Amino acid sequence: MAKTIQLLTARCGKIRPDSVADYIAHDGFSALKKAMNMDPMQIINEVIDAKLLGRGGASYPAGKKWKQLYEIEGDPKYIVCNADEGEPGTFKDMVLLEKDPLSIIEGMAIAGYVFNSHDGYIYIRGEYREIQKLFQAAIDNAVKANYLGDNIMGSNFSFHVHIVSGAGAYICGENSGLLNSIEAKTGRPRVKPPHLAEVGLYSKPTLVNNVESFASVPQIVNMGGKAFQELGVEDSGGTKLICLSGNVKRRGTFEIPIGGVTLRDIIFDPEFGGGIPDGKELKCYHLGGQSGPIGFPEQLDTRYDHTSLKKVGLSIGSGAVVVLDDTICMIDYLKKVSEFFIHESCGKCVPCREGNRQMYMILHKFATGLATEKDFERLERLSFTMSTASSCGLGQSACTALDSCLLHRREEFEAHINGICPVCLNSRKYGDQYAY
């Protein structure tokens, strides 16, 4: 029995991405037509019933977010799609942006109708230059066909979608930093509260959802929230796009029913990763990008849904699954994670700006055999400070991978104290003096 499913990806590779005619031939814009004959609160209730948890990484209930915005007074309200996708190992939004952009546009238009919004913005990461051109062509064609723009389908509803290009800053994937960037301000996170639903883009009430979340909305409207929920599990409905990379035989993007497979399936099943190549063994797997937790072989039989993963200290996050084999040194890998956060920190707050540098230096002591037992205490204290005192999710989650390894693989750190890490003994000399 197939463990993958094609719901959001049903049209991918079967239509010309910017063709409205092809899109309509595959049931496109039927949800928008249906939605425009529904009461806005009825649509919100369908999203609530769908148990759609945000697909950008935070997993906040989309229906709850929509209801909160609907109840906030203020005009205009803005619709914003976060297509920054800067999380390492994550490329699932790219599939939808590149192969079915009109589904995202339709989802944004339905949101526009619900909130009586006339303008939507999609913030596409700077590295997706060609995709931005394709997406603009899809917008232009939708306007020509009267599914976007003024007086959509002869109604009084008008909605316009504008593309904003990122410039390669990971921090702009954080929603408030993204809104600052759209406003041509420095891409740094805002202090909250007030929340974006109240004071968002241009200080107006704003809905911010991820690409995959918006692409799910037409499916929810067409099939009904309950039917969408039943594809997943009780507290998290629908399907999830996962992106598999690293030391596996088959890499790529797969769509699965939430809770329908285990981590073991994802890595070893021939329908997914197909196992570890070249006769190597699985060492670990990094879930949800650099800001996510690291899982280990003893957790492989956990089902891939939000609740099951949370019970064992893991999470779905962005949907990334990066697999590492037994030739990887855990400390070296954590150093690379730390380097990433040093590079991407906006520098706004001390816990993140300085904490990541200090973490790198302590990890380097372990890597070169110069650490002591005291350095465990320093790492743990530093992790606690960063996770509780940083201004935004970047600093707060920068130690998540480290925390996983300290909890489950402390012996690897101890091996470095004693200079007996087998991977490092074969690859370099201990005692190399260097600090970031």
In DSSP notation, 196-228 reads TTTS-GGGS-EEEEEHHHHHHHHHHHHH-HHHH
| d(C-alpha 149, C-alpha 119), whole Å | 9
Residue with tokens 């420095």: 186
Q: What angle do CA 248, 250, 255 make, to 5 degrees?
A: 115
| d(C-alpha 165, C-alpha 84), whole Å | 9
- The yes-or-no verdict on residue 252 having pLDDT over 60 is yes
Are 288 and 316 found together in one domain?
yes
Residue pLDDT, tens place only, 196-222: 999 999 999 999 999 999 999 999 999
Are 53 and 156 found together in one domain?
yes
- Tell me if residue 259 falls in helix, strand or coil: coil
Token pair recorded at residue 399: 């130690």
Are 208 and 257 found together in one domain?
no
| Last residue of one domain, picked from the residues 308, 325, 342 | 325
- Tell me if residue 26 falls in helix, strand or coil: coil
Q: For residue 8, is it within any domain? A: no
Would you tell me how many other CB atoms lie within 10 Å of the CB of residue 350? 14
Query: DSSP state, 153?
Result: G
Are 358 and 299 found together in one domain?
no
Q: For residue 432, is it within any domain? A: no
For residues 426 and 54, which has the higher predicted lDDT (pLDDT)?
54
Residue pLDDT, tens place only, 333-363: 999 999 999 999 999 999 999 999 999 999 9
CA distances from 433 to 206, 367, 414 (A): 50, 10, 19
Query: What's the number of CA atoms in the CB half-sphere (13 Å) around residue 91?
Result: 13
What confidence category does residue 436 fall into, taking pLDDT thresholds of 50, 70 and 90?
very low
Are 298 and 253 found together in one domain?
yes
Range of the domain at 140: 20-229
Given CA atoms 12, 14, 19, 24 in this order, what sign does their dihedral have? negative
Residues of 157-167 as b/e, b for ≥16 C-beta within 10 angstroms? bebbbebbebe
Residue with tokens 């990971």: 170
For residue 191, the model assigns a pLDDT of: 87
Q: For residue 307, is it within any domain? A: yes
Are 40 and 126 found together in one domain?
yes
| d(C-alpha 338, C-alpha 402), whole Å | 9
Please report, as a single letter, which amino acid is at residue 144.
Answer: K
For residue 419, the model assigns a pLDDT of: 74
- The yes-or-no verdict on residue 65 having pLDDT over 80 is yes
Token pair recorded at residue 15: 């239509």
- CATH number of domain containing 247: 3.10.20.600
Are 217 and 137 found together in one domain?
yes
C-beta separation of 287 from 293 below 8 A: yes
For residue 428, the model assigns a pLDDT of: 55
What confidence category does residue 117 fall into, taking pLDDT thresholds of 50, 70 and 90?
very high
Token pair recorded at residue 368: 């070169």
Residue with tokens 């800067």: 86
- CATH number of domain containing 204: 3.40.50.11540
What confidence category does residue 422 fall into, taking pLDDT thresholds of 50, 70 and 90?
low
For residue 435, the model assigns a pLDDT of: 38
- The yes-or-no verdict on residue 405 having pLDDT over 50 is yes
- The yes-or-no verdict on residue 61 having pLDDT over 50 is yes
Cis bond leading into 194, ω under 30°? yes
What confidence category does residue 417 fall into, taking pLDDT thresholds of 50, 70 and 90?
confident
Q: Which helix (H) or strand (E) holds 282?
A: strand 282-287
Q: For residue 3, is it within any domain? A: no
Q: For residue 403, is it within any domain? A: yes
Q: What is the mean pLDDT of the chain?
A: 94
Are 222 and 104 found together in one domain?
yes
Residue pLDDT, tens place only, 82-98: 999 999 999 999 999 99
Residue with tokens 């600090």: 435
| Last residue of one domain, picked from the residues 290, 309, 325 | 325
Phi, psi of 290 (to 5 degrees): -60, -25
Please report, as a single letter, which amino acid is at residue 164.
Answer: V
Cα 402–chain centre separation: 20
- Sequence length of the chain is 436
Are 103 and 211 found together in one domain?
yes
> Which are the contacts of 222, defined by CB distance < 8 A and separation ≥ 6?
27, 30, 31, 34
Q: For residue 436, is it within any domain? A: no
Are 219 and 243 found together in one domain?
no
| Last residue of one domain, picked from the residues 306, 325, 344 | 325
176-183: list long-range contacts, CB under 8 Å, 24+ apart. Answer: 176/392, 177/346, 177/392, 178/80, 178/82, 178/84, 178/123, 178/208, 179/80, 179/206, 179/208, 181/123, 182/80, 182/121, 182/123
For residue 430, the model assigns a pLDDT of: 46
Would you tell me how many other CB atoms lie within 10 Å of the CB of residue 435? 9
| d(C-alpha 95, C-alpha 433), whole Å | 44
- Tell me if residue 170 falls in helix, strand or coil: helix
| d(C-alpha 299, C-alpha 331), whole Å | 20
CA distances from 287 to 74, 221, 248, 252, 321 (A): 38, 30, 14, 15, 5
Are 135 and 89 found together in one domain?
yes
Q: For residue 12, is it within any domain? A: no
What would the mean pLDDT of 116-122 be, rounded to a whole number?
97
Total domains, the chain: 3
Q: Which residues partner with 236 through β-bridges? A: 233
| d(C-alpha 15, C-alpha 256), whole Å | 21
CA distances from 207 to 77, 82, 145, 372 (A): 8, 10, 26, 48
Q: For residue 434, is it within any domain? A: no
Are 212 and 131 found together in one domain?
yes
Query: What's the number of CA atoms in the CB half-sphere (13 Å) around residue 127?
Result: 12
- The yes-or-no verdict on residue 429 having pLDDT over 80 is no
